[in-house]
Amino acid sequence: MPAEKSLDGKVALVTGSSRGIGLAIARSLGRLGAKLSLCARDAGKLESAATELQGEGFKVVATAADVARASDIEKLVQKTGQALGAIDILVNNAGIGYFGPFQGAAEENWDAVLDTNLKSVFLLSKAVAPGMIERRTGHIINIASLAGKNAFAGGAIYCASKWGLLGLTECMAEDLRQFGIRVSAVCPGSVATDFSPHAGKDTRKMLQSEDIAHAVEVIVTQSPQSFISEILIRPTQKP
């Protein structure tokens, strides 16, 4: 296991962190000593998450924002810097899904999923990268999915967003590695959250949010001369 407080003094920004995977990741990074910048669209749920983590002794700033909007991202990064300091770790976790035959989907479905799952990663990483380049250090971790590698009926738009995210992640890694910045992807299978319906599945056998948080822990505590480019996570039993 990583050493206790190994991220002491570091600043971690986690998107989609009002619940589920994002909240678990934020809690994990907080336990390692990081100062936390939380972000989500729902201000009420975000405030509840921030209060919960503050009650556990973590330093937290929360910003309600839509990370698919450049103007919201500018405010998010600025507020994080003013409250906590320069961003050392960015976890692009925010995501939405649309599931159904592609021929029945509307253009609005495509735009919503691709903007949230893919464009937001481009915009926020682009906003954070210059500071990391200047300091010649940093982690950018993109929460992708096994849907970025495996096709399934009804998954056209979601899979397209995650396949695109994996391509973006690999190219970002090549662009930034010369500056000491490590860019990684975490690809989980189905996780027991309220993100998508799990009809007929035994949620006790599914991945849990804490499993994804553990993978992020592994990435941010690895030795400095290497980087883990991708982690694939599956449950031990099929649900």
How many angstroms separate the Cα of 65 from the Cα of each of 43, 46, 68, 69, 108? 8, 10, 9, 8, 20
Q: Is residue 63 in some structural domain?
A: yes
Q: What 8-state DSSP symbol labels residue 104? A: G
Does residue 132 form part of some domain? yes
User: Number of structural domains, the chain?
Assistant: 1
How high is the mean pLDDT in each 10-residue block of the chain (239 residues)? 76 97 98 98 97 98 97 98 98 96 98 98 98 98 97 97 98 97 97 71 88 97 93 90
Greatest CA separation for the chain: 50
Q: Structure pTM?
A: 0.95
5 is a domain residue: no
Phi, psi of 70 (to 5 degrees): -60, -35
Tell me which of 23, 60, 113, 158 is the catalytic residue: 158
78-88 per-position pLDDT tens digit: 999 999 999 99
Residue ranges making up the domain that contains 203: 11-233
Residue 176: the pLDDT is: 98
Does residue 4 belong to any structural domain of this protein?
no
Is residue 98 annotated as part of the catalytic site, yes or no? no
What's the angle, vertex CA 20, arms to CA 35 and CA 204, rounded to 5?
130
pLDDT value of position 88: 98
Rounded Cα gap, residues 31 and 47, in angstroms: 19
Residue 208 inside a domain? The answer is: yes
CATH code: domain of residue 182: 3.40.50.720
Kindly state whether residue 2 falls inside one of the protein's structural domains.
no
What pLDDT sits at residue 198? 63
Phi, psi angle pair for 187, to nearest 5°: -120, 90
In a domain? residue 239: no
Is 16 among the domain residues? yes
Each residue's pLDDT tens digit, 149-168: 999 999 999 999 999 999 99
